[in-house]
Each structure stands twice: as C-alpha cells, then as structure tokens.
Structure 1
Amino acid sequence: MANSKYEYVKSFEAEDKLLPNTWIVIKIGGHDFTRFSEVHEFMKPNDEQALNLMNSCAMAMLEEYPDMVLAYGFRDEYSFILKEASEFYQRRASKLVSVSVSFFSAVYVMKWKEFFPEKALKYPPSFDGQVFCCPSVKILKDYLMWRQADCHTGNQYNTCLWMLVKSGQTKQAAQNILEGTQKQEKNELLFQQFGINYDKLPIMFRKGSCVLRHKVEEIIKYNRSGDPVKRLRKKVMVGHFNLDSPNFWTKHPSLLDELGVPESHRETLSKVWSTKCENVKSFEVKNSLMPSTWVVVRIDGRHFHRFSEAHEFEKPNDEKALNLMNSCAAAVLEEFPDVVFSYGVSDEYSFVFKDGSQFCERYSSQIVSRVVSFFSSMYVMKWKEFFLQKELKYAPSFDGRAICYPSAEILQDYLAWRQVDCHINNQYNTCFWMLVKSGKAKSEAQHILKGTQTQEKEDLLLQQFGIVYNTLPVMFRKGSCVFSDKVEESMEENGGHPVEGYLEKVIVEHCDIIGSSFWDLHPSILSCNLSKHPSIF
C-alpha cells in the first residue's frame, strides 16, 4: 500500500492472533437456511443432494487448505479443524474465518448445478463464521461430540416433525405433540405410527459427515516391463462415522499425526464419552467491537494476481472486473441496511457501518463472515453478467477484517487513505504496464519506475505514450463509491399518468472523497459536515 499522511489510521486495526499450541476450529453455518431451503424446495427432513453439496464444498476446503485436517458437518453447518501447530494466516482470527467462509460460499455457488441441475439458484447463500480454540485433546473431542450430539438430536426431532406433518398434522400441532418428548419416545413414535426404525435411517442423516485425508494406493506410472508402479497418496474422502467410537480414531492414525496429537494423549480420543459437552461453547473466540464507533469491514481478493492472470484480465485495469466488484458492493448495501457507504478499488472494498449499528451484536467474526460470504456468493453468481465469454475457472476468495473508528473525522481519513492508495497505485501500474507492453521486461520496467514521483510518472506517460493521466477513466484513477441516494424517476399514478418522483436507490459513482464537495453534497451519509481535507486531484 502506498505511503500517505493518512496511514496513521492503520493503528486502529486490532490484533486478533489466536493462542498458539491450540487446535483452531472454524465453524461455518448457513445464515437463514430455513428460508433458503424452503425457497429452493429442499426435501424434508433431509435433502440428500443438499447434504452432498455441503460435503463436496468441505472436500474442496481440505484440498485448498493443507492445514485443515478434519471436517465434520451436518445440515447447513461444517466445522474445520486445523492442525495444532498451524500458522495459517499467522493464526489471525479475522483472516482465518473470512477466507474460510468466502471460499466455502463461492464453491457452494459454483457447484450448485452439479447437484441441482434442474433448479435455478434464486439468490446467493450466505454463511456465518465462528472460531473456537481447543487447548487440549479432551476439549477438541468434546467439541466434536457436541456437534454430533446436536446432529442426532436435531435429526431425530425433524424426522418426527416432518413425518407428522406429512401425515396431515399442522406444523404447530406436530410441535405440540413433540414438546417435552425424550429420545426413546421419539423412536417409539416413528416406529409405531410410521413403521420407521430410526437406527436404520441413512447414517449420513443420523451421524453427519466427516471429511479427512486417507492414504490410497495409486498407479503413478508403468515400468519398462509394463508393470504398474504404485505409491501411497493422501486423498480427501467423505465418511460417516460415530466419532465417539474408539474404532474411528484407531483406524485413522494418520489423522492423529496430522492433527499433531501427542502419543501420550491419543488414548484420550479412544475413550467413550458419556458427559454433556456443551461446555465447549465457552471456548469460542468472541471479539465484540467497541460500541458507538464506525465499523469498517474491508475485504481484499486473496491471490488475485494469480486469479486475474488465470482469467486474463486486462492490464492495468479490467473495466468489466471492476464493474463486477462494484455490482457486488451495491448488492451488499441492498442486503445490509446498516452499511451506509462503501469504497472500492482493484480487488478490495471497504464497507462502512453506521456508528450505532448493532448488526450481529457487533461480534467481529459474524459481521466479517456475513459480509464476505455474501460478497463471494454474489461474485460467482454475477460472473456471467460481466464475462459472457469467459468461464470461471476456480472459486475466488476474499479475506476480511473489521476496524473501529471512533469519529467521523477519522473515518474520513481512512477513506482518504484508501483513495490516495488508489491514485498512487493506479498511476504506477499504468506506467508499468505501458512499459511492459512497449517491450520492456517486468524487471526493467520496475527499475525505470523505482523512486519516481507523481510528476515524473505523468511526464513518462505523456512523452513516451501520449497519455494524459488525468484524462484516463475516472473509475481507474479515483475508485468507486457506493451509497444510497434519492434518484428522480418516472412513476405512474392510479390514473396511469406518469409523474416525476424520487426513489432511494443504491448508486455507484466515481468521485473525489478527500475534498469536502462530496460530503457537503451528501451530509446524510455520515450525518455531519466533514470539510477538513483539500482535494489532491
């Protein structure tokens, strides 16, 4: 990022590094999936295709992130366990949860047609993220037992509920019948009224799904005699197990090695648990953001240099790629009313929540994960709107963080910092890619530009390429602002006569937000008059 006088705002970014030598668990859960499943007509109580889609996304996670060694999931949730010694993203909670939720969301949308070829995805799914730190093997197993117990309890209840509903009961009547019933009573209800032996139902419904790596023998080549040469390779698989059974752990010794479980503690995992495990909820890492502050969620494309090369984005700026980002940002403002403004450049976007927002009770992980998940899903869903002739080759992902700013003035400095960064980086990249396109090697172009100032770059563009920098598209030079504003539109009265009126709409503009003009024109965004900065453009 470029140097500027506004860089002091970086000091407001809080440290959120997780404790070392603990097992990190990232729990992802579908947001409002009751409605999502109804809109998409999932079968009740279990839709096998929907569950297999979740399993496929979990497999993609383990294939993408080597530090994830075990995943457990059911219904619309999945938990991913990292090895104890993991230094993935330097163990920063915001990075871990945002990247995980982002990639999972993008893969879910990309794989939808694979599992639902006859169903259109009607709106983007989104997922919440939570982080747990398990300091011991016992707590780690408690966590897994807690989730598998929840799977069993929820599935048994839902199986009874939906069988009663399908038999003619109203949903409310079915809930009344089941109120206060115990496990055995539910089993008897299913058997006596519907002839269902609960223990004979598919194990995936009753026990959930595990995703892990196991060693398989594969043919890697054939020798001169034509005989196969085989090697053991680790391959990601899905299985359905009783995690409380000693057999699961003894049959997967390589899993214990990957997790980093010491030999002296492995016996703990082989013991059968009979205690309640809800106490592990206290090991959730909850970072509550300071009240009455402006919350900014900044998301950045992960490895977007590689992503842009793989998808052949134009250099230094791909207008379609930028407009795709802008469209996703506009969708975020439409989805989350507490977001009052956003600013974006290249592969990043900053979303400003109003200072009184109580979104997600101001828990950092939930706020960041909800925004980055929705943005990632929307990015994949909208891809074809902007790239009709290009296939999306693999799932994009974004990392995110939440930062608190105590005043509107400091918030404006933050936004000024991002726009200054846009200006400096775009000017450099424009010079760099013009030099490369003229035949210079990348290293040579970097050497030519080393230490040059703004005026020198402008002179280079004009003298060597006939480009007046300030006439380049304003979106490239100043980035994009997304906010709600009153827009004049024609509307019809009851009599059918058109009348002019104003509607509140989310709009995208490309303007100077460092000077006072923009904020004076739109005082309602920050509810104050901020006119302290002169424009640099």
Structure 2
Amino acid sequence: MANSKYEYVKFFEVEDEVMPPNLIVVRIVGRDFRRFSEVHEFEKPNDEKALKLMNQCAIAVLEEFPDVVFSYGYGDEYSFVLKKTSKFYQRRSRLYSLLILKISSVIVSFFSSVYVTKWKEFFPLNELRYPPSFHSRIVCCASIEVLQAYLAWRQKDCHVQNQYNTCFWCLVTKGGKTVMEAQEILKDAKEHDRNELLHQQFHINYNDLNPLFRQGTCFFRTKVEDVVKYNEDGTPVKRLRRKASDFRSENIAGRRFWNEHATLLKELGGFPEDCIKLNPDYIRSFQFESKLMPSTWIVIRIDGCHFHRFSENHEFDKPNDKQALDLMNLCAAAVLEEFQDIIFSYGVSDEYSFVLKKDSQLYQRRASEIVSAIVSFFSSMYVMKWKDVFPEKELKYPPYFDGRAVCYPSNEILRDYLAWRQVDCHINNQYNTCFWNLVKSGKSKSETQSYLKGTQAREKNELLLKEFGIDYNMLPLMFRQGSSIFRVETENSSILASGNSVGKAQTKIVTEYCNIIEQSFWEAHPQLGLAATRCP
C-alpha cells in the first residue's frame, strides 16, 4: 500500500502500557444503570434474571479470551483478572508490555455485545428499549497481595450495598416509607442495625438471602467431564475439558477458598495469609488513570476486531457491503446523539473516528472512561440494529471493537488526521475493488496479490476499466470517500395565531459522503470550528 503525506499524524498516538509483573484487572461498571434498571423495570432490591444475564456475559468473556482466568461480579459490575503470563495485546519494546486501552476496550465491547445478544434469553417479554453501555478501567495490582485486597474490597462492597438496598426497598415497598424517610432511617445505621431492622420489622434473616445477592459470583475454569459425542448405541463419550464454572464463597479473598483451587494457584499465585484489614483508598491508588491533555482535540478511534473473519462468516459482499456500512453509520449517528461533546465522526469499513470538541470535559478527560463508554455504546447499538439492517441474516456471534484515544493540538493536525483516514479509505477501496474483481474472474488470492503488487493508482483504474468495464470514479461515494457524520443547524418554522411565521433554530445529525480533505468542506460547515488551520 502507498504511503501518504498525512501519515505523520500516527506519531501522536501514544500507548498506555503496563509492565510485568503487574497483575491486570479489567473492571467494568454499568453506565447509568440506575436509570437503565428503572426503564426496564428490574425487580428491587435485586433482579435475579438481570444478575444471571451479567453472569452469562462474564462466562462468554472467559470463553473468548483465554488470558482472562478469573472474574468476580455483582450488581452491574464485573472484574476480570488476567493471568500472570498474559501477553494480551502485547507488543515488543525493550520489555513486554500490555496496551491498556486496547485490553479494557476489547473486553467491555465484547461484554456489551453479549449483553444485548442474550437479552431475550432472560427477558423474553421485556423489550430492550435502548442500548446498555459500560465503563471500564484497569487496575494494576503490583503483587498477589494487592489483588487479594482488591477482591476483598469488591466483595465487601457487594455485601454493604446489598444489605443497604434490601433494607431500603423493604422500608419503601413493605413499610410504607417514602424514599426520603427510608434514607433518613438508614443514614447512620451500622451493619448490625440493618440486620436487626430486617429481622424485627420484616422477619428476614439476612444470612438466609440468596448467596447470589449477598456474595456475588466468581467464575474460573476447572476441569469438568463433557460429552463430546455419542456412540452408535447411544452411550455418551466423555472427555475432561476446561470450562468456566461459577463459585460462591463468603470470602473469595480468603486463603481457604483461593488456595484450594489449583487453577488459581497456577495462573495467579497463592495468598500467603488472610486479608484482615481493608483500605479502599490504598487499593484505589492502583487504578490506572490517564487524563488526556487539556485544550486539545480528542479523537476516539474504534476498529472492528477480527472483522475479516466476521465479514466472511456473515457473508458480506466483497469488496464493499452497503448494508454493513449502513449499520456502522447508524451506530456512529447514535453515538453522536448520545454524546453531545462529539462534533464530528468519520468512518470507513469497520472503523470509526469520533472527534470531541477541544474544550470537552467529558468524564474529566479520563481516557479509559471516554473510550470505554463510546466503544461499549457502539457495540451494543451494532447488535441492537443488526436485524433492522440484515432482517434475513442471523447474527452468528457477538462482534466487538477496540478503541484508542489520541490528542491533536491544532486544527491543522486534526484535519491532517482526518485526511489520512480518507486517503487510506481511497487506497484500500481501490485495491480491494481490483482484488475482488480479479478473484471473482477466476484468479486465486495469491495470484491476485502478486498481480497487484507494486501497481499504482492509475494502473489500477485502467485495470478496472479495461478488464471489468468499471469506471472507479463512478463507484458510490460511500465506498470511495467514506462517511462523515455531524450536526447541522436547521430552522423549524411555525405559524402563530396572528399569522406570522416564527423560525426556531434546531440541529440534526446528517450523514454525508464528501471530500473532507478540501478546505471547501470545512468552510461550508463553520459550526465544526475547523475551517481555520493557522492561528490568527
């Protein structure tokens, strides 16, 4: 592939890395799940079906990513622990390192896709009204003792929240108290007081409640007998295989629970002693946080993971599938609707770039929060809208995306970034159009690659015209130039009783297939604030 003059912008991409021997935890938490649970009428204080859906998503993560060896979750959160020797999204520098945003974004994206995919299994009569999304962040545990303290902290939080919520909703739904009255009653109540309240007023022994609610759930792989086939006489043939299994314990961070499982000892190490004291502030200090540079343009770029395989398995048209591109555009437009700080997006194939305004304070400019929220929302929307775009195609498995955040200090450099992506769109599309037409004409893929090696743009255009009667410049603009999505102002007129017309300015999101390299596009859309490329 040819290089372009805009490729220098790649040097602004800086990867956040974690060096061994840190143990990596990816913690995901529902984004505004209080509203989500109310809109979808989850039972209070705990909805067992909702918790089991979260558990199914966690199992799927363990099955998809072999480096994830342990998970613990409750409510709307889950923590995933990577094995000590993980080389997940590894790259080689002087030492092996792990790419933080890629790891967290991939896991939260996959989790979100699975959540939407499996929704109907758990809520067959409850329509999913809007896409759920999650935040994710990395916790870098410097030692096995830090991991132990982290798990103890999360399980303690599970207990405290569940006990409080059980009391709160009993007071509201059974005791006739208002929300404010219930909050006041529980304001200074200790653990013992809450247990007494449940027992005396509602005849509930807290320790008899479902362990799923009180203790949370952990998953890790164990060897289990599994039926692999059946003999002719119908008898099953069983084999031992490693499979994600669920476990519950009052103390998942205790030596007794942890050290009796060989898998955990091998992949993560043993706990030398029980965790007696908890210091949440100490544990929080290991949370990896990277704030993006102030007063710079933020670009969140997401890319489909293994989309070559995904497109083949779902029989996308080659070299371009219009429906698949329409689906990507629908998701991108929904992202702009959801996140008002995004002013512009550009997409091609299985990637999209979202530009946040220069003074954005979204999530206090924390990279992991911004990236995970956008990639999670995009992933959920992709699954939700699949049937609208592909009504006759089954979604065979959940897609997922990775994400990154890059800061660009000036209008000029941001424009060059977008130009780079559009040039790349043209180069890839021209090559792929030649490639797939040659393959369809009878050449093998290796023959086609050799045939096209070293050819220039003019030669490819001539090949398409002479061999296949295709004028490249007449192909759909969406294929050649990609998709740009942004807001434009419109005027909505209404007629008053007096007969006078009153105009009210509104904004709407539009999708265009245009040349964003030329100055004329930016001058035609001054609301984007990118027409000027030099400081006055």
**2:417 match:** 414
**1:142 match:** 149
Distance in 2 (CA, whole Å) between partners of 1:461 and 1:482 is 30
Query: How do 1:351-500 residues align onto structure 2 when only pairs under 5 Å count?
Result: 351-487=354-490
Instruction: State whether residues 191 and 197 of structure 1, in contact with CA within 8 Å, keep that contact through their aligned partners in structure 2.
Output: yes
CA gap of 1:222–1:393, structure 2 versus 1, over 3 A, is closer
SS of structure 2 residue aligned to 1:88? coil
**1:207 match:** 215
SS of structure 2 residue aligned to 1:300? strand
Distance in 1 (CA, whole Å) between partners of 2:137 and 2:497 is 50
Query: How do 1:12-411 residues align onto structure 2 when only pairs under 5 Å count?
Result: 12-90=12-90, 91-166=98-173, 167-220=175-228, 230-242=238-250, 243-259=252-268, 261=269, 266-268=270-272, 271-278=273-280, 279-411=282-414
CA gap of 1:492–1:194, structure 2 versus 1, over 3 A, is farther
Worse-matched range after superposition: 105-114 or 215-224 = 215-224
Distance in 2 (CA, whole Å) between partners of 1:2 and 1:234 is 46
Q: For residues 290-323 of structure 1, what are the alpha-carbon distances to aligned partners after superposition, in whole Å with 9 as ceiling and x for unaligned? A: 0000000000000000000111100000001001
**Structure 2: gaps of 5 or more residues:** 91-97
Q: For residues 340-385 of structure 1, what are the alpha-carbon distances to aligned partners after superposition, in whole Å with 9 as ceiling and x for unaligned? A: 0000000000000001000011111111000000000111111111
CA gap of 1:2–1:390, structure 2 versus 1, over 3 A, is farther
> Aligned partner of 1:434: which letter?
N
SS of structure 1 residue aligned to 2:63? helix
Q: For residues 244-270 of structure 1, what are the alpha-carbon distances to aligned partners after superposition, in whole Å with 9 as ceiling and x for unaligned? A: 4433223311222122x2xxxx251xx
**2:93 match:** none
- The Cα shift of 1:526 comes to 2.2
Distance in 2 (CA, whole Å) between partners of 1:340 and 1:392 is 31
Distance in 1 (CA, whole Å) between partners of 2:236 and 2:347 is 54
- The Cα shift of 1:233 comes to 1.1
> Aligned partner of 1:146: which letter?
W
- The Cα shift of 1:512 comes to 0.3
| TM-score normalised over the length of structure 1 | 0.94
Instruction: State whether residues 515 and 531 of structure 1, in contact with CA within 8 Å, keep that contact through their aligned partners in structure 2.
Output: no
Distance in 1 (CA, whole Å) between partners of 2:429 and 2:232 is 56
Distance in 2 (CA, whole Å) between partners of 1:28 and 1:277 is 21
SS of structure 2 residue aligned to 1:393? coil
Distance in 1 (CA, whole Å) between partners of 2:495 and 2:131 is 32
- The Cα shift of 1:238 comes to 1.8
CA gap of 1:370–1:494, structure 2 versus 1, over 3 A, is farther
Distance in 2 (CA, whole Å) between partners of 1:480 and 1:57 is 32
Distance in 2 (CA, whole Å) between partners of 1:496 and 1:76 is 54
Distance in 2 (CA, whole Å) between partners of 1:497 and 1:204 is 64
CA RMSD, aligned part only?
Answer: 1.9
- The Cα shift of 1:274 comes to 1.9
**Structure 1: gaps of 5 or more residues:** 533-537
Instruction: State whether residues 415 and 530 of structure 2, in contact with CA within 8 Å, keep that contact through their aligned partners in structure 1.
Output: no
Instruction: State whether residues 95 and 400 of structure 1, in contact with CA within 8 Å, keep that contact through their aligned partners in structure 2.
Output: yes
Instruction: State whether residues 523 and 529 of structure 1, in contact with CA within 8 Å, keep that contact through their aligned partners in structure 2.
Output: no
**1:535 match:** none
SS of structure 2 residue aligned to 1:80? strand
SS of structure 1 residue aligned to 2:221? strand
Distance in 2 (CA, whole Å) between partners of 1:41 and 1:224 is 49
> Aligned partner of 2:81: which letter?
I
Instruction: State whether residues 461 and 468 of structure 1, in contact with CA within 8 Å, keep that contact through their aligned partners in structure 2.
Output: yes
> Aligned partner of 1:274: which letter?
I
Instruction: State whether residues 72 and 80 of structure 1, in contact with CA within 8 Å, keep that contact through their aligned partners in structure 2.
Output: yes
Instruction: State whether residues 53 and 122 of structure 2, in contact with CA within 8 Å, keep that contact through their aligned partners in structure 1.
Output: yes
> Aligned partner of 1:384: which letter?
K
Distance in 2 (CA, whole Å) between partners of 1:496 and 1:9 is 55
Distance in 1 (CA, whole Å) between partners of 2:442 and 2:478 is 27
Distance in 1 (CA, whole Å) between partners of 2:327 and 2:274 is 52
Distance in 2 (CA, whole Å) between partners of 1:497 and 1:113 is 51
Identity of aligned residues (%): 59
Instruction: State whether residues 71 and 78 of structure 1, in contact with CA within 8 Å, keep that contact through their aligned partners in structure 2.
Output: yes
SS of structure 2 residue aligned to 1:439? coil
SS of structure 1 residue aligned to 2:288? coil
The number of equivalent residue pairs is: 525
Worse-matched range after superposition: 207-216 or 500-509 = 500-509
CA gap of 1:506–1:208, structure 2 versus 1, over 3 A, is same
Distance in 2 (CA, whole Å) between partners of 1:117 and 1:492 is 46
Instruction: State whether residues 143 and 277 of structure 1, in contact with CA within 8 Å, keep that contact through their aligned partners in structure 2.
Output: no
**2:94 match:** none
Distance in 2 (CA, whole Å) between partners of 1:309 and 1:401 is 26
CA gap of 1:6–1:134, structure 2 versus 1, over 3 A, is same
